[in-house]
Amino acid sequence: MSIGHYLVLSGVLFSIGAAGVFLRKNLITLLLSVEIMLNAVNLAFVAFGRQFGTVDGQIITFFVMTVAAAEAAVGLALVIGLFRHRESLNPEAFTSLKW
Amino acid sequence: MLFYIFAGAAVLGALLVVTQKNPVYSVLALIASFFGLSGLYVLLEAPFVAVVQIIIYAGAIMVLFLFTVMLLNVPREDAAEWDRAHPLYRPMAVRIGGALAILLALELGWALSRTAGLGGGVADEHPAVSSVAELGRVLFTDYMFAFEVTSILIIVAMVGAVVLAKKREE
């Protein structure tokens, strides 16, 4: 398989994730879509690392995974706090700061 | 051939995540998608990343998500709420969004057709670096600073999560 195959797959996954962020109205699904996008980027990193025979792509993938774990922990804590506050997970319920 | 099987699993899982109404099913579909991606990492001769993908992503992060979904007893998104008055269902939004999506696809196709060196396989030019020893060596020498900063990030995230999720005593 050529690098092009992996890049197209990565782009497709990223687009699905981005569409999920825009289309869904559930904070949990929004966070899951962000995870899909991070994984699409990971795939591109590893594919490029393999193409150029270096180990850097895999290492950056580990950093992305760490950031994803931190993001999930803080994001879910925020979701719990918001749910306690409004009893809803619809982002449109949290528009008090909107001008 | 294996590439298409794993890629299909990853894309199908991702599509299910975005289309399912029930968050529990979304999380389970995302785990399936991660298994597909893990297979792709094996094909790219990065077995350690593949294993970490399963253990950390499917094993830890997704369990955290599932735990939260169950804890909150999240109501499923009603179909009515989903259909009614969503700004993306306005005709103008559909037209502009569709045009931009087609433009993006055309640009991607153009860029890929114009870029040289895409024909050969990924494994043609350089030997794979897949030993965990080499990975660890580079991680603890060249990426030492980033590694240490990551530990600070994790501590901040841990403390932040506890502070945010704690019940206020008033």
Long-range contacts of B156-165 (CB under 8 A, 24+ apart): B156/A70, B157/A69, B157/A70, B157/A71, B157/A73, B157/A74, B158/A73, B160/A73, B160/A74, B160/A77, B161/A73, B161/A74, B161/A76, B161/A77, B162/A77, B164/A74, B164/A77, B164/A78, B164/A80, B164/A81, B165/A77, B165/A80, B165/A81
pLDDT in tens, A10-56: 989 998 998 888 888 788 889 999 999 999 999 999 999 988 888 99
pLDDT in tens, chain B (170 residues): 888 999 999 999 999 998 888 888 999 999 999 999 999 999 988 899 999 999 998 889 999 999 888 888 766 665 445 555 565 667 777 788 888 888 988 888 888 777 766 666 776 777 777 788 888 999 999 999 999 999 999 999 999 999 988 877 65
Cβ of B158 within 8 Å of Cβ of A23? The answer is no
B70 touching A, CB under 8 A?
no
Q: Give percent above pLDDT 90 in chain A.
A: 42
Cβ of B108 within 8 Å of Cβ of A8? The answer is yes
pLDDT of residue B29: 93
Cβ of B154 within 8 Å of Cβ of A9? The answer is no
ipTM of the complex: 0.89
Rounded to whole angstroms, the Cα distance separating B47 from B24 reads: 29
Cβ of A16 within 8 Å of Cβ of B41? The answer is no
pLDDT of residue B93: 75
pLDDT of residue A5: 85
- Does domain B1-84 match CATH 1.20.120.1200? yes
Which of B14, B26, B69 is nearest residue A13 as measured by Cβ atoms?
Answer: B14
Rounded to whole angstroms, the Cα distance separating A81 from A46 reads: 36
pLDDT of residue A88: 77
pLDDT in tens, A57-94: 899 999 999 999 999 999 999 888 888 887 777 777 77
Which CATH number among 3.30.470.20, 3.30.70.141, 1.10.287.3510, 1.10.10.10 corresponds to the domain A3-93?
1.10.287.3510
- pTM, two decimals, is 0.86
Q: Give the nearest chain A residue to B34 (CA atoms).
A: A39
